[in-house]
Structures are given as C-alpha cells and as structure tokens.
Amino acid sequence: MPSNSEFKAMKWRNVGPFLGGRASCCVGHPTDKQVFYFGHSSGGLWKTDDAGQYWTPVGDGQFNYGSIGAIAIAETNPNIMYVGLGEPQIRNSASWGDGMYKTTDGGETWQHIGLTGGRHIAKIRLHPTNPNLVYVASMGHGFGPSQEKGVFRSKDGGQSWEKILFKSENAGCIDLIISPNDPNVIFAAIYEFERRT
C-alpha cells in the first residue's frame, strides 16, 4: 500500500474515453492494475487494458439500453461481473435501463438476469467470497412512484431476486456499502423523491 506522501505526489489526468457526456461509474480489476471498466450515462460499457491509454466497448449489441449505472467485479473470480443499467444521477433528463446483466467470461457474453423495473440501478455489491450473493441498490422509476425501489438480494447469482429493504414507492436506494470487517453488515442510503403536482 502506498504511503501518504506517495499519494500526495500523484496528479490527476484525463484518460478518456473521449466521447463526452456523463460518467456513471468506474471500477478497477481486483488483481490487474491496468484494467478498468467505465460506465457511461448513455454510451455503454468500456474497458481499458492499459490504465486508460486506449478504451474498447464491451457488450455492444448485448445490452438492451446504453445507459450504465453500476458495475461490480467478483474479487474471487474476476471473470464474473454484474452490470446494472440506468444512470442513477437523477436530473431532468436521466437515461434509464432494464435491470441487471451478468457475464461469467470476463465480458465476452452477457445475460439479462432481471430487475427490469429497476430502471436506474445505483450500486451493486458482491459478497467478498461468494459472487453468487449479490446486493443491488435500485432507484426504481426516476420520475415517479414504483415498487421496484430499495435494496434487492440474489443468493443464486441473479437467477432470482428478493426485496430486502423498501421504505416507500417514492424512496429509492442510491448507495450500498458492505463492511470490510463483517460482510453481514450492510449500509444503505435512501433517496426520497419529492412528489410535485
């Protein structure tokens, strides 16, 4: 782990991809420091193998929508990845999606695995040792009430889902954190929509 002085010497630089618009999420590979995935609000999923010098699209033609909201890579098997569609940064023109997708071959092929009504998936968290135990923060419908808001869990890698936290049809989950000390401890942040008539 770098020291604080080493971090202070670091400088930020733009590494792309240079397609404009809004970034929704970015994750690094758990073992390869050169590999990152970037989710665009309406421009799909991208991958770099060289720490940002070049980017290539991932999953083109396999996702039903181009809006990426969340990405998670399994620490124990990086070939297993989950992607949630629909940007979670709700504003006057937020792009939506149709739920969750999964790959087991490092992004070559993707399968739609449900939560279609989620529309805006804000965060995906995986159990640190069990990639089949998946937690999803769903904003649901970004501009109105829906039952697909809250926290959802799958114990079988996305074959089935259960809602484990629901505050109201106007309150979506915007963030999730699993405690690094105890994966049974999970924190969820709820974003309540103001209804206007």
Is 115:159 a contact under the CB 8 Å cutoff? no
**Which pLDDT does position 15 carry in this prediction?**
73
**Which pLDDT does position 17 carry in this prediction?**
65
**Token representation of residue 136:** 């999803």
The set of residues, in sequence order, having a beta carbon less than 8 Å from that of 153 and lying 6+ positions away, is 133, 134, 135, 136, 161, 162, 164
Mean pLDDT by 10 residues, the chain (197 residues): 70 70 88 94 93 92 95 97 92 88 97 95 97 97 90 98 96 96 96 72
Cα–Cα dist 78/183, whole Å: 19
**Which pLDDT does position 196 carry in this prediction?**
61
Place of tokens 């923060």: 137
Q: What is the largest CA-CA distance in the chain?
A: 53
Look up residue 18 and give its amino acid.
F
Is 138:172 a contact under the CB 8 Å cutoff? yes
Is 28:18 a contact under the CB 8 Å cutoff? no
**Which pLDDT does position 143 carry in this prediction?**
84
Is 122:100 a contact under the CB 8 Å cutoff? no
**Which pLDDT does position 165 carry in this prediction?**
97
HSE of 189 in the Cβ direction (CA atoms, 13 Å)?
A: 9
Other Cβ atoms within 10 Å of 111 Cβ, number: 11
HSE of 14 in the Cβ direction (CA atoms, 13 Å)?
A: 6
